[in-house]
Amino acid sequence: MKFWINNNNKEQSVVAANKLRGQLLDAGLVLDRRDPKLVISVGGDGTLLSTFHAYAARLDKVKFLALHTGHLGFYSDWTDTEIDDLAQRIIKCQDNIPSTSYPLLDVTVENKEGAAFHGIAINETVVRRLSSLTMKSRIDLDEEFFESFRGDGLCFSTPTGSTAYSKSVGGALIHPKISVFQMIEIASINNRVYRTISSPIIIPHNQQVDLYPQIADDYVISCDGITTKLKNVKKITIKLNYQRAQFAQYRHRHFWTRVETAFLGQDEKK
């Protein structure tokens, strides 16, 4: 089986990556950066996101695996203290990798000349302005008018991304087994003149959100932290991508256990 390991430059990650790589090579697996069947991220959530986007064009051919050096992340069931166990499971299941899949956001931006940008996100997409000026946009849900938004910006999150930035701006936590995405208003303006729903909106897999922002030359769109400047924006469409990200699952760890560990950290049952 062909595999590749991507790690950050922290000493703990380098040591872990070298150890795992060595064990897999000793077992006869093949190191291949261009055409791997399994891509392993060693580091933190940032390393996982950069690894995912490096292989985003090959989602139908690759499965991802995250090994966190430090604490468990929401895409990882493994830490650097469990490399021996992980290596044995990879070697044993190399012909039939057990996996689970996660929804992805699909983002298209149209300007006056036509399509200007297309991207995907495994965590979230954020639309805002570079300046401190208010973002103003018409919002259509499933091609019908919903509201006129005024505020700092809009965040769109996948279920797995619901524990990341979207949580910090008031988004809901969504189990990744549910094929939906959500829209969260960032610091929306609500008074006697302007009114928005001011609540996270959960959107099913077969619907989309269309934004028609007020004309400005300082819009930016971020997909998993990768930011692109936009000009002459006519329409922004956010929906779920027809593809899903495949993650190797050599053992199962309950999503709500991940949530409890990350945000509550309560060791004792009450």
Average pLDDT for runs of 10 along the chain of length 270? 96 97 98 97 93 96 92 79 96 94 96 86 96 92 96 97 94 95 96 91 97 93 95 94 95 84 66
Helices (H), 149-231: 165-168
Q: What per-residue confidence (pLDDT) applies to 268?
A: 47
Q: Is 166 annotated as a binding residue?
A: yes
Same topology for domains 2-98+249-264 and 103-242, yes or no? no
Q: Is 6 annotated as a binding residue?
A: no
CATH class of 103-242: mainly beta
Q: Is 150 annotated as a binding residue?
A: yes
pTM equals: 0.93
Q: What per-residue confidence (pLDDT) applies to 266?
A: 63
Q: What per-residue confidence (pLDDT) applies to 154?
A: 98
Q: What per-residue confidence (pLDDT) applies to 264?
A: 85
> What kind of fold does domain 2-98+249-264 have according to CATH?
Rossmann fold (3.40.50)
The domains of the chain are located at 2-98+249-264, 103-242
Express the helix, strand and coil content of the chain in percent, nearest 5 each: 20, 40, 35
Q: What per-residue confidence (pLDDT) applies to 72?
A: 60
Q: What per-residue confidence (pLDDT) applies to 270?
A: 46
Q: Is 228 annotated as a binding residue?
A: no
Q: What per-residue confidence (pLDDT) applies to 146?
A: 97
Give catalytic residues, as residue numbers. Answer: 45
